[in-house]
Amino acid sequence: MQDNDQRQNLKKDTWIIIVALICVLIFVFTNFGESQGRYYDCRDAHWHPDIPVEVKKECDRIMYEEWKRQQEEKYKSKTIIST
Protein backbone atom coordinates (compact mmCIF):
# COMPACT_ATOMS: atom_id res chain seq x y z
CA MET A 1 0.00 0.00 0.00
CA GLN A 2 1.37 3.40 -0.97
CA ASP A 3 1.81 6.23 1.49
CA ASN A 4 -0.27 8.65 -0.49
CA ASP A 5 -2.51 10.29 2.11
CA GLN A 6 -3.48 13.67 0.69
CA ARG A 7 -5.47 14.74 3.75
CA GLN A 8 -2.46 15.07 6.06
CA ASN A 9 -0.54 17.09 3.47
CA LEU A 10 -3.55 19.35 3.07
CA LYS A 11 -3.77 19.84 6.85
CA LYS A 12 -0.08 20.80 7.04
CA ASP A 13 -0.46 23.27 4.18
CA THR A 14 -3.58 24.78 5.74
CA TRP A 15 -1.81 25.50 9.04
CA ILE A 16 1.09 27.14 7.23
CA ILE A 17 -1.31 29.36 5.27
CA ILE A 18 -3.27 30.30 8.40
CA VAL A 19 -0.12 31.19 10.37
CA ALA A 20 1.24 33.22 7.44
CA LEU A 21 -2.08 35.07 7.11
CA ILE A 22 -2.12 35.89 10.83
CA CYS A 23 1.44 37.25 10.61
CA VAL A 24 0.56 39.43 7.63
CA LEU A 25 -2.54 40.77 9.41
CA ILE A 26 -0.49 41.63 12.49
CA PHE A 27 1.99 43.61 10.40
CA VAL A 28 -0.76 45.38 8.45
CA PHE A 29 -3.05 46.39 11.33
CA THR A 30 -0.45 47.38 13.91
CA ASN A 31 1.73 50.44 13.74
CA PHE A 32 4.84 48.32 13.66
CA GLY A 33 7.78 50.71 13.62
CA GLU A 34 5.67 53.78 12.87
CA SER A 35 5.81 55.29 16.34
CA GLN A 36 9.57 55.22 16.54
CA GLY A 37 11.30 58.57 16.61
CA ARG A 38 14.68 59.62 15.42
CA TYR A 39 17.47 60.13 17.87
CA TYR A 40 20.36 62.46 17.19
CA ASP A 41 23.62 62.75 19.08
CA CYS A 42 23.96 66.41 20.00
CA ARG A 43 27.72 66.08 20.31
CA ASP A 44 27.92 65.64 16.53
CA ALA A 45 25.12 68.01 15.55
CA HIS A 46 27.26 71.10 14.92
CA TRP A 47 29.39 69.53 12.19
CA HIS A 48 27.34 66.66 10.71
CA PRO A 49 25.74 67.56 7.34
CA ASP A 50 22.83 65.08 7.62
CA ILE A 51 21.33 66.61 10.76
CA PRO A 52 18.49 69.11 10.10
CA VAL A 53 18.93 72.75 11.08
CA GLU A 54 16.05 72.61 13.60
CA VAL A 55 17.75 69.75 15.40
CA LYS A 56 21.03 71.68 15.45
CA LYS A 57 19.31 74.68 17.04
CA GLU A 58 17.61 72.50 19.65
CA CYS A 59 20.90 70.77 20.42
CA ASP A 60 22.57 74.16 20.86
CA ARG A 61 19.85 75.18 23.32
CA ILE A 62 20.13 71.90 25.26
CA MET A 63 23.92 72.09 25.38
CA TYR A 64 23.76 75.71 26.60
CA GLU A 65 21.30 74.83 29.36
CA GLU A 66 23.50 71.93 30.46
CA TRP A 67 26.60 74.16 30.46
CA LYS A 68 24.73 76.79 32.47
CA ARG A 69 23.58 74.16 35.02
CA GLN A 70 27.13 72.87 35.39
CA GLN A 71 28.45 76.39 35.94
CA GLU A 72 25.88 77.01 38.67
CA GLU A 73 26.80 73.74 40.38
CA LYS A 74 30.47 74.63 40.15
CA TYR A 75 29.81 78.05 41.68
CA LYS A 76 27.70 76.55 44.49
CA SER A 77 30.38 73.99 45.30
CA LYS A 78 32.99 76.74 45.75
CA THR A 79 30.76 78.91 47.93
CA ILE A 80 31.23 78.63 51.69
CA ILE A 81 28.21 79.38 53.82
CA SER A 82 28.83 80.24 57.46
CA THR A 83 26.25 80.61 60.14
Whole-model pTM: value is 0.51
Q: How far is CA 63 from the centre of its chain?
A: 22
Give residues with Cβ within 8 angstroms of 42, minimum separation 6. 59, 62, 63
pLDDT at 15: 82
Chain segment 6-35, per-residue pLDDT in tens: 566 666 778 888 999 998 988 888 876 666
Chain segment 31-82, per-residue pLDDT in tens: 766 667 788 889 888 899 989 999 999 999 999 999 999 999 988 887 777 7
